Structure 1
Amino acid sequence: MYERFLKKAGCDPGVIAHCLTVAGATRAYARSSVVDRPLLEAGAMLHDLGRSETHALDHAGVGADLAAAMGCPDGVVRIVGRHLGAGLTLEESALLGLLPVDAMPERLEERIVAHADNLVKGTREITAEERWDRSVALGRKYLVRAFRLGLDLEPLRHLR
């Protein structure tokens, strides 16, 4: 269902394959009864919807606007708009030349998609260590926030 949605929006096959991989990675964190699984699945599959128009950093905001225009529920729109790294503060967004909005993932499902996206490079799942090595240029503040996000979520991965 979501694959067709991404194709219709104009996402290329590589983006769709990436979204499928991220959605698969989120399932390991969805065993808890507090996780809204349908929201998590929709958000994971559509998190890169904005890549139908741009592959720049602003693809999250573009994707959130597209998702809203297509009638997606607010929870999905929030996941799409807040999935970059471990989130961006209003100030960080402005410094990066993005619209000055608070794009910090708050809801559990938003946080899971951001974390799972951090652990997928293309269609390959990578370790947290590989992600941190690739992100060192983003600075200490980002690395600490991404590391803490992983620490917060990893217990969910081990639920039975």
Structure 2
Amino acid sequence: MEIELLEKENTPENVIEHCKAVYEKAMKIAANFDNVDEDLIRKGALLHDIGRSRTHGITHAIAGVEIAKTYGYPDDVLNIIERHIGAGITAEEAVKLGLPEKSYVPQTLEEKIVAHADNLISGTKEVDID
């Protein structure tokens, strides 16, 4: 369903492929933990960049939340979309970047897994963090 939603929202094909790669990496990371919500990770990873159908700037996370809300996604999915940007952005940093003043730092394990997986994937390729 999430892939179809990305397509419906006219998300660029390269972004869809990136979301799939982030999902695959996130699931590999999640396999190392007990009590992780894999369905939540799937939805969040596949939709984390849906806002790139509107903008490729840092505000794509905000746009993504608005899009996902219209389809009735719950807050835990919206939080993954919103908090995946950068390595986590504090409320003070958000203001400097022109974002609404709030923390964009991942809080839950699922948020952290998706954000970390996104940082490890450039396009569709895994990057070395060194």
1:66: Cα distance to partner?
1.2
Q: Deviations over 1:44-97 (max 9, x none)?
A: 000001001000111011101211121111111000000012211110100111
Q: Decide whether the 8 Å contact of 1:85 with 1:115 is kept in 2.
A: no
2:8 is aligned with 1:8: yes
Structure 1 gaps of 5+ residues are 130-160
Cα RMSD (Å): 0.9
2:52 is aligned with 1:51: yes
> Secondary structure in 2 aligned to 1:63?
helix
1:119: Cα distance to partner?
0.5
TM-score (normalizing by structure 1) = 0.78
Match in the other structure for 1:92 = 93
Structure 2 gaps of 5+ residues are none
Which whole-Å CA distance do the structure 2 matches of 1:29 and 1:57 have between them? Answer: 25
Q: Which runs of 4+ in 1 moved over 3 A?
A: none
The count of residues paired between Structure 1 and Structure 2 equals: 129
Match in the other structure for 2:23 = 23
Q: Deviations over 1:95-143 (max 9, x none)?
A: 11112121110000000111000001011111111xxxxxxxxxxxxxx
1:33: Cα distance to partner?
2.3
Q: Deviations over 1:16-37 (max 9, x none)?
A: 0000000010011112221100
Which whole-Å CA distance do the structure 2 matches of 1:77 and 1:27 have between them? Answer: 18
Match in the other structure for 1:33 = 34
Partner AA of 1:72 in structure 2: Y
Match in the other structure for 1:75 = 76
Which whole-Å CA distance do the structure 1 matches of 2:14 and 2:39 have between them? Answer: 23
Which whole-Å CA distance do the structure 1 matches of 2:44 and 2:99 have between them? Answer: 21
TM-score (normalizing by structure 2) = 0.95
The structure with more helix, counted as a fraction of residues: 1
Which whole-Å CA distance do the structure 2 matches of 1:62 and 1:88 have between them? Answer: 16
